[in-house]
Structure 1
Amino acid sequence: MTLNLNTHSTPSLPSWQRVCGLADILPGLGVCALVEGRQIAVFHVAGRVCAVGNRNPFTGADVISRGLTGSYRSGDAEERPKVASPLLKHTFDLATEQALDHADMTLPTYSARVEGGEVWIGLVD
């Protein structure tokens, strides 16, 4: 009999997938990437890359990658990137996944990085 006394779970490390070249995403716009069966909206905003789920939780439509990007300031905080869905214009913080107009709605967020001009998305199972 084997007894495992280790009760601490180890967080999974992301599995990185190349999705496109950074030059393929115009600044201020998004693209949709199909990564391991998931539609992921990838945005090039404010000099960085952000990745969120492409499905709008309000409508169920896969349209977030076609949303309008911008920024907002909450209180005295620094400007944060956001996207407005092209349907019904619900807005989401691209860094925290939170809907800005409905506290109970979110988008999944994914780790994103740029290496050698290529955009990589990190998935955790």
Structure 2
Amino acid sequence: MTSTIELMTAWVRACAVSDLEPGWGEVALIGARQVALIRVAEQEVYAVDHHDPHTSAPVMARGIVGSRGDRPTIASPLHKQVYDLGTGECFTDPALSLRTYRTRVVGGMLEVELDG
């Protein structure tokens, strides 16, 4: 007999999109998690773990927002590792990755999907 574990997910309202300034990060406490919210365009917002994967310091919302080609990125403000905001892949150290969360905008409000 095979059992399956069903992951429960929930969309949690974080803030109004208009509260976020394009090109900058803000940190939000969503549930028990510190999540860095990064708005890169009018309706394009990314959510990643606020803790730096290399040092575990809670600093990613203060990272440097940029891009590699058409892929939006954030660089750690401590050691400058560069991460893809969509996938969490680290461009500068393949051993590292940044946890990402799905986002959506509903009625002007940013929602972040958290797993149970």
Shift of 1:42: 0.8
Matches within 5 A, 1:1-125: 5=1, 7=2, 9=4, 11-47=6-42, 48-73=44-69, 79-125=70-116
Shift of 1:46: 3.9
TM-score (norm 1): 0.85
Deviating above 6 A after TM superposition, structure 1's stretches of 4 or more consecutive aligned residues are none
Larger Rg: 1
Instruction: Please state how far the C-alpha of 1:82 moved relative to its aligned partner.
Output: 0.2
Give the count of matched residue pairs.
Answer: 115
Q: Which runs of 5+ in 2 are unaligned?
A: none
TM-score by length of 2: 0.91
More strand by share: 2
Distance in 2 (CA, whole Å) between partners of 1:61 and 1:23 is 27
Q: CA deviation at 1:37?
A: 0.9
What is the identity percentage for the equivalent residue pairs of Structure 1 and Structure 2? 38
Q: CA deviation at 1:123?
A: 0.5
Q: CA deviation at 1:8?
A: 6.0
